[in-house]
Structure 1
Amino acid sequence: MRVVSLVVAFALQCGAVQAATSKCDVELGHGLIITDDSIRIVDNNQTRVQINHDDQLLIGGYWINLNEADTIVLREYSQGIRDTVPELVNLATDGVNLGLSAIEQVVESMSDKEPEVLKTQLQYVERALMDKFKRGDDFFFIAPQSLSKIDDFFTKEISQKIHSAVHGSLGAILVSLGDAFKSREGNIEDRINDMGQRMDIISKEIDKSLQKKAHQLEAKATEYCECLNRLDDTESRLQAIVPQLLDYDLVRIRS
């Protein structure tokens, strides 16, 4: 995919400046949806700004006429977005869904079925993740947020939701174990002890995984600080050409 090749090229470029880059506070002021053909700046599920093929600009559904020099700035802005956002979305989503599936499998192995409460809680976890980061076969989405505080999202919000999902299913598992005991399908004490040990392992592994994910994203946001600074500069130049874009300021950086 064209987006992927752009990300790879930019990763090499940013790697060259990483040593000279200091940590900075980076925020995205609006949501972004990126496909091969377009970039959309969105608010409340509505497209406010759209860039087609990296060289056509629409604001509020109206075409903006640009001369050749202005189009070069637009293209630079569009490429800068493509170079950063998809990799951040990939980092945020990679492994999390696999981790949720692993939780389901472990709980099922203890109770012989998946408690409905676990299924419901894990849906809340997935929804919280997709509200911030989402990718499909042909698009990337990132919500407005502070990229410098992604660690809080994973180590606090997502971690808390996953812990609630796991421990919220304990009651259903105990009921299942009680039924097994009544029907003499096994030793309930052994199974309860085994369940407690597995839950403890799950909790620790969840925390380790989420902390690793948060550190990866924080490091990537720091690595991209110089690149995002350049994108912010390009955005300012484009706003000088098209003042309507001031209402949709995307990159906000505080050193």
Structure 2
Amino acid sequence: MRLVIFSLLICVWSVQARDCNMGFGYGLLISPEQIRIMSNDRTLMQINHDAQLFIQGEWQDLSEADTALVTEYSQGLRKFVPEIVGIAVDGVELGLSSMERMLSGVGSRSQQAEWNDLIRETTFQLMSRFVRSGDHFYLAPQSLNELEHFLNGELKPQLNNLARHSFGAVWEALRDTLQHTDANFEQTDPQQWDAVGHLVDRINSGLDEKASLLEEKTALFCQRLKELNEIESQLQQRLPQLLAYDLVVQKN
């Protein structure tokens, strides 16, 4: 009987882990000195040195108890957000760096510049929701479910398409060159497309690993968000002006 109950609890936990709609209602920028809650590149709320609170640029005079809550809230965000951003950024960098290595030295300078521009443009599009630069981290408004969808539903097909598009252009350029040499293109072509297939497989394998890592940690992340939401609620009760800037939310 205990085994049955334990199994049921595991099933319930697994469903909750996969279906956590907790997330952030605003953008969040974390640096060593500051935490900024942002909307459309505008800072709405800011915490300096895990203790000083600013709302719309105005410093808030906090009691000792208020300051302790702000510190707990700030440190909770610092433990949580960089890890989430890291999983997403690592997934993007894994795919793009693999392509850059494969494209290195292939084609003319102008072709390499074109492919590098394409990779940079794709990087910018993908990274608008996640940024990691040294010890600075940015996370756009989203839920844990949306992050999981990013890794599986958005990132993987975009990187796969980019890989095939880039290498399609590479081998088209090589075709023109090989047709004017004694090389047997019919023998070379399948080998090159096989290399593309291996690249795509490697990208997908790496992304599956990141998605699995996220899935393993979703329950923990969800619990951390619920705890942060509790701290935020306490702060809002003590500082009603914070009600207008609800950062940790349950998203649909």
Answer yes or no: same fold by TM over 0.5: yes
CA shift, 1:97, in A, is: 1.6
Matched, 1:61 2:57: yes
The corresponding residue for 2:166 is 169
Matched, 1:85 2:85: no
Matched, 1:205 2:202: yes
- Relative to 1, partners in 2 of residues 1:99 and 1:164: Cα closer, same or farther, differing over 3 Å? closer
Deviations 1:143-174 (Å, cap 9, x if unpaired)?
11111232211222112221221222244223
Preserved contact between residue 180 and residue 188 of structure 1 (Cα < 8 Å): no
The corresponding residue for 1:225 is 222
CA shift, 1:238, in A, is: 0.4
Alignment counterpart, residue 44 of structure 1, candidates 40, 46, 51: 40
CA shift, 1:236, in A, is: 0.3
- Relative to 1, partners in 2 of residues 1:159 and 1:121: Cα closer, same or farther, differing over 3 Å? farther
Preserved contact between residue 45 and residue 53 of structure 2 (Cα < 8 Å): yes
Preserved contact between residue 38 and residue 45 of structure 2 (Cα < 8 Å): yes
Deviations 1:213-255 (Å, cap 9, x if unpaired)?
1221232232222222111100000011122211211112479
CA shift, 1:191, in A, is: 1.8
The corresponding residue for 2:237 is 240
Preserved contact between residue 58 and residue 64 of structure 1 (Cα < 8 Å): yes
Q: 1:85, 1:94 → 2: CA distance?
A: 14
Q: 1:225, 1:214 → 2: CA distance?
A: 16
Residue identity in the other structure for 1:250 = L
TM alignment of 1:106-185, pairs within 5 A: 106-108=102-104, 111=107, 115-184=112-181
TM-score by length of 1: 0.83
Deviations 1:47-76 (Å, cap 9, x if unpaired)?
110001111111111111111111111111
Deviates more, 1:202-211 or 1:165-174: 165-174
Question: Which 5+ residue runs of structure 2 have no aligned equivalent?
Answer: 1-11
The corresponding residue for 1:13 is none
Preserved contact between residue 77 and residue 235 of structure 1 (Cα < 8 Å): yes
Q: 2:101, 2:184 → 1: CA distance?
A: 21
CA shift, 1:179, in A, is: 2.5
Q: 2:103, 2:191 → 1: CA distance?
A: 11
Aligned length: 237
Matched, 1:72 2:62: no
Runs of 4+ in 1 over 6 A off after TM superposition: none
Residue 249 of structure 1: SS of its match in structure 2?
coil
Alignment counterpart, residue 215 of structure 1, candidates 206, 212, 216: 212
Q: 2:147, 2:91 → 1: CA distance?
A: 16
The corresponding residue for 2:247 is 250
Deviations 1:5-43 (Å, cap 9, x if unpaired)?
xxxxxxxxxxxxxxx975232211111111111110011
Q: 1:225, 1:241 → 2: CA distance?
A: 25
Identity within the alignment, %: 36
